[in-house]
Chain A
Amino acid sequence: MRDDIEKILDECIDRMSAGESLEACLASYPEHAEEIRPLLLAAGGIRNADMPPVNQQARAAAKLKLNAALVQSREEAGFMQRLPGLFAFQKVRAMAAVSVLLVAVIVGVSVYSVTGGGGTTPGQNVAVSAGVSNFLSQEEFANYILANSQNTGGNYWNGGVGLGLEGEWEDSSMVPAPVWEEKDYSSQTSGDGYNRVSGTNVQVIGIDEPDIVKTDGMNIFFSREEFYYYYYEYESIAGTDIMPPEMNSGIQIVAANPPINMSVLSEIDRNGDLLLYEDTLAVFTWDGIYGYDVSDPQNPVSKWEITLDDYTSVVAARLYQGKIYLVTQTWVYAYDPLPIRPMEVNGQSVELKYTDIYYPVMPVDTDSTLNAMVFDMGSGNLEDTVSFVGASYSSTVYMSGSAIYIGYSYWEDETPFVIDFCRERLQGIVPDSVIARINLLDTYDISDAAKMTEIGVIFEEYLSSLSGDEMAQVQDNIGNAMDDYFAEHMRELEGTGILKISLDSLDVTAAGGVPGTLLNQFSMDEYDGYLRVATTVGGMFGFSGFWVSGGSANDIYVLDGDLNIVGSVMDLGLTEQIYSARFIGDKGYIVTYRQVDPFYVLDLSDPTNPQLKGELKIPGYSSYMHPISGDRMLGIGEEDWQVKISLFDVQNPEQPAELGKYILDDYWSDVLSTHHAFLLDEAHEIFFLPGDDSGYIFSYAGNTLEIVMEVSDIQATRAIYIDDNLYVIGDDKIVVVDELTWQVVNELEF
């Protein structure tokens, strides 16, 4: 009886939630009506309680943070994920072989058509040139934001930052690009008390990147990962943590040199990536950047604070010549955009001037500003800032010695693409009446999304009028036509806008773009005044149930100082995606990955006549490549789900060879998600990488990959060297190894 009441009450609550009346529910159970009525009335009172509305700004801020985390998650995952939706570009990943495309890019010889080299679609316009301008008044800014915010509110995962066409751009004096030294990518020399010390493994020598470990040669600064212990109780669905998390963290400052006297000197109660310059340690936490004076490492003193507001997140940071170059993103409230105050510096609010905010000439979806800022590392003072409007999609930051390059993915609207496809390619495949309906639909003044829905209805109606066999045949024909059309036009659908911000003036000095999307910061590189960019285009595409089976390709573009495309190699690794990219001097190295196996070698020394030179098959893939002396390249990646290290000979671009290969019995190394976890010590011809539960020290002497030591029983995350001591750093301890004898010198537990 009691059980009955509970069931009936439960059912009636659901029925009333779905809109039924109280009386209708009671009528179903007249015998219990008297008992249930007051309970249902109370339930109605609860459901209709006057809840405060959800604050839309808080919602937007949460969305921005989540978006930033999604971008980071994608980057950490080491592969590209595509946008969701009806026209989903999907990650196509499968177990199989690798293609390493060896690309020798000789930059900027002459200007030539971007479709001239290797492309399969002559005459296709792939250039995305640009024009930008800054705002001249507060009203202009506010109007722009409001006018261009409409498309981003509902579904900010679509659309994108695009840059205008055919804009004039004032030239600025070019800063000479830094010279790439093909030796010792990570070490500095001299200083008191030591002769050599490693730095974080970075993309560009001399430009430091935030990481969890820094050293000054005497002390190690180590931000332990935030350990959240959870006890999962496995059930049919997600793990239920039945214990509260226990946090175990803090930045350890360790006296490291000499290793025999190693000890923890002090601790800073924060967590995050670090930058170290002279006596200042900067800590990048989730809510800001905190500067400490660490001249007395036993007593770090808070020096400055940059606190981000709730609508701002850090996209990237670099340290160069004592300055922090910070790229942040601030969500802008469309109905009341100004003032924009992304952060406070030492308690002083920073306000962006609208005259420092640039926008593309051709309006694009806008929901945020991206801000490039320069701070003095010693004082924390904000020295300069420049911003531009855009949408909060994925962005990739690369910084050379002369400029910051910010790349943004954008997606063109697919509706015109699909309508054009239907008009151009479906004649004879579907009846004229179907195409006529689509033509008529195109004239309606309705949203693109609504048009797509209608197109779906048109096809559904048509297909359902066919017999099973006819339907299969028509679907097949449409699919084939779509394959062809997509292969020819996929570069029109997705692109990357690129902004160049001069370090000298901190002004936007050029804007341009390329088709396709970037993998990570290594997808861009400046050399001799030219920017080289590696992108993947294509992926899965479909509409109304028709799918292209994964036409994708990889392109390399060479852009001049004004970001005009002057050279390109297209269609590398057809049906594949870039898994890693590295540009070294006048050569480029691209690893792509696909389902079946070719390994291409391309010679691009004549940019107008790229040629396929050779083919080689190796299983697995590399997600990080690191150059070493003697024209060799290390590749760290995976094969059969295990960590794989390959040593390539790249001396002869026509005949790259795999000199050695080692497959670890480990399923994961942090190098697969961040290049910061890798350490090369060329003096001893060794490199370090963390494994699942240990740290591996490999020798590559004599072109043979060999484990010289496995430091076990440590959750190793990084390693550094000071003189001839290698410090393997884990969350709970540091193990020091003598690189001459490979004996453990000392250990320090936290």
Chain B
Amino acid sequence: MDGSVYCGTIQRADSRAKETRRDHLNEKCDSETKTVESVIADLFEEYYDRVVRYIYVRISDQPEAEDLAGEVFLKALKSMGSYRGSVAQMRFWIFKIARNIVIDHYRKKGIRKTVNLDDVEIPDHSNVEELAERRLQVGELTKALKQLTGAQQEVIGLRFFAGLSSAETAQVLGKSSGAVREMQCDAIRKLRTLM
């Protein structure tokens, strides 16, 4: 199936495959004395806060981000049947789900909000040292982020708020590491001028 497109459903994904998958995962987990459920529970403990932060910088709404982060783990549990990867890779998968949930969030809300450039307060920080000294207000950051391309925003969200490496970010986005590094560099250059 590699590379091909497959149409399936989450809840009615081939249940048998789901079971087989679950067993397979359990076998994998056995070496670490973990069951699938406990892996999800552990992922929740470790990544819930990071998922909230990642979603927050994408949607700028903290309560909503907290709700959506909860959905990420519920969806992870439901989608276990379609998961293809090792236990160690599950954390990228969590952020993949988070990313898709953000996309769904925007779809549900209709056309993606755009920010009028005139509304963006661009403080004059001619001295970049000053930027590092003070605590950047997150509102400034999210406003500035909206001036980036969607892919650049994702890179910033995953690298700085989800805490993934550029290789991991590449896995989540389905891009090469080089592309991620390039987007990261471009994004930072642009943000520097905006913040």
Q: Do B128 and A70 touch across chains, with their CB atoms under 8 A apart? A: no
Q: Do A52 and B62 touch across chains, with their CB atoms under 8 A apart? A: yes
List chain A residues, Cβ under 8 A from B70.
Answer: 58, 61-62, 65-66
Q: Do A49 and B74 touch across chains, with their CB atoms under 8 A apart? A: no
Binding site for B on A (CB under 8 A): 3, 5-7, 9-10, 13-14, 17, 38-39, 41-52, 54-55, 58-59, 61-63, 65-67, 69-70, 73-74, 77, 81-86, 88, 90-91, 93, 155, 157, 225-241, 244-245, 540, 542, 641, 666-668, 670, 672-673, 692, 715, 731
Q: Do B138 and A228 touch across chains, with their CB atoms under 8 A apart? A: no
List chain B residues, Cβ under 8 A from A225.
Answer: 11-12
Q: Which of B80, B100, B138 gathers most chain A CB within 10 Å?
A: B100
Q: Do B14 and A227 touch across chains, with their CB atoms under 8 A apart? A: no
Select which of B74, B107, B128, B165 is within 8 A of A65 by beta carbon.
B74
Q: Do A42 and B131 touch across chains, with their CB atoms under 8 A apart? A: yes
Further 7 A-B residue pairs, CB within 8 A, beyond A69-B78, A234-B6: A62-B70, A66-B73, A155-B45, A230-B9, A235-B2, A668-B14, A672-B15
Can you list 12 A-B contacts (CB < 8 A)?
Answer: A6-B185, A41-B132, A42-B188, A42-B195, A46-B191, A50-B137, A51-B161, A81-B38, A228-B10, A233-B174, A244-B104, A692-B14
Q: Which of B17, B52, B141, B182 gathers most chain A CB within 10 Å?
A: B52
Given contacts A14-B165, A65-B74, A69-B77, contact A88 B131 (CB under 8 A): no
Q: Do A58 and B195 touch across chains, with their CB atoms under 8 A apart? A: no
List chain B residues, Cβ under 8 A from A14.
Answer: 165-166
Given contacts A46-B136, A52-B62, A55-B66, contact A3 B178 (CB under 8 A): yes
B28 within 8 Å of A (CB atoms): no
Given contacts A70-B37, A668-B19, contact A237 B129 (CB under 8 A): no
List chain B residues, Cβ under 8 A from A51.
Answer: 53, 56, 138, 161
Q: Do A227 and B35 touch across chains, with their CB atoms under 8 A apart? A: no
Shortest distance between the CB of A660 and any CB in chain B (Å) = 23
Q: Do B41 and A77 touch across chains, with their CB atoms under 8 A apart? A: no
List chain B residues, Cβ under 8 A from A81.
Answer: 35-38
List chain A residues, Cβ under 8 A from B78.
Answer: 69
Task: Report the bound CA distance from A236 to B93 in whole Å.
Answer: 11
Q: Do B82 and A84 touch across chains, with their CB atoms under 8 A apart? A: no
List chain B residues, Cβ under 8 A from A231.
Answer: 5-7
List chain B residues, Cβ under 8 A from A240.
Answer: 96, 100, 174
Interface of B is mostly: helix
Q: Which of B107-154 contact A (CB under 8 A)?
A: 107, 128-129, 131-132, 135-138, 140-141
Task: Report the bound CA distance from A6 to B186 in whole Å.
Answer: 9
B interface residues, how many (CB within 8 angstroms) = 93
Shortest distance between the CB of A92 and any CB in chain B (Å) = 9
Select which of B23, B52, B136, B163 is within 8 A of A93 by beta carbon.
B23
Which residue on A lies nearest to B184, using beta carbons? A10
Shortest distance between the CB of B91 and any CB in chain A (Å) = 10
Proximity string of chain B (167-178) to chain A, C-beta cutoff 8 Å, 1 when within and 0 when not: 000010010001
B156 within 8 Å of A (CB atoms): yes
Given contacts A234-B1, A239-B82, contact A70 B6 (CB under 8 A): no
Q: Do B4 and A49 touch across chains, with their CB atoms under 8 A apart? A: no
Q: Do B38 and A66 touch across chains, with their CB atoms under 8 A apart? A: no
Shortest distance between the CB of B58 and any CB in chain A (Å) = 13
Shortest distance between the CB of A248 and any CB in chain B (Å) = 9
Q: Which of A3, A62, A69, A241 gathers most chain B CB within 10 Å?
A: A62
Q: Do A55 and B188 touch across chains, with their CB atoms under 8 A apart? A: no
Q: Do B135 and A234 touch across chains, with their CB atoms under 8 A apart? A: no
Q: Do A69 and B74 touch across chains, with their CB atoms under 8 A apart? A: yes
Q: Do A39 and B185 touch across chains, with their CB atoms under 8 A apart? A: yes
Q: Do B33 and A90 touch across chains, with their CB atoms under 8 A apart? A: yes
Shortest distance between the CB of A551 and any CB in chain B (Å) = 16
Task: Report the bound CA distance from A155 to B38 in whole Å.
Answer: 11
Select which of B11, B100, B166, B178 is within 8 A of A241 by beta carbon.
B100
Shortest distance between the CB of A15 and any CB in chain B (Å) = 12
Which residue on B lies nearest to A47, using beta carbons? B160
Q: Do A9 and B73 touch across chains, with their CB atoms under 8 A apart? A: no
Task: Report the bound CA distance from A82 to B37 in whole Å.
Answer: 9
Q: Do A234 and B141 touch across chains, with their CB atoms under 8 A apart? A: no
Q: Do A45 and B195 touch across chains, with their CB atoms under 8 A apart? A: yes
Which residue on A lies nearest to B165, using beta carbons? A14
List chain B residues, Cβ under 8 A from A157.
Answer: 38, 41
Q: Do A235 and B189 touch across chains, with their CB atoms under 8 A apart? A: no
List chain B residues, Cβ under 8 A from A238.
Answer: 79, 82-85, 89, 92-93, 96-97
Q: Do A66 and B189 touch across chains, with their CB atoms under 8 A apart? A: no
List chain B residues, Cβ under 8 A from A227.
Answer: 9, 11-12
Q: Do A62 and B16 touch across chains, with their CB atoms under 8 A apart? A: no
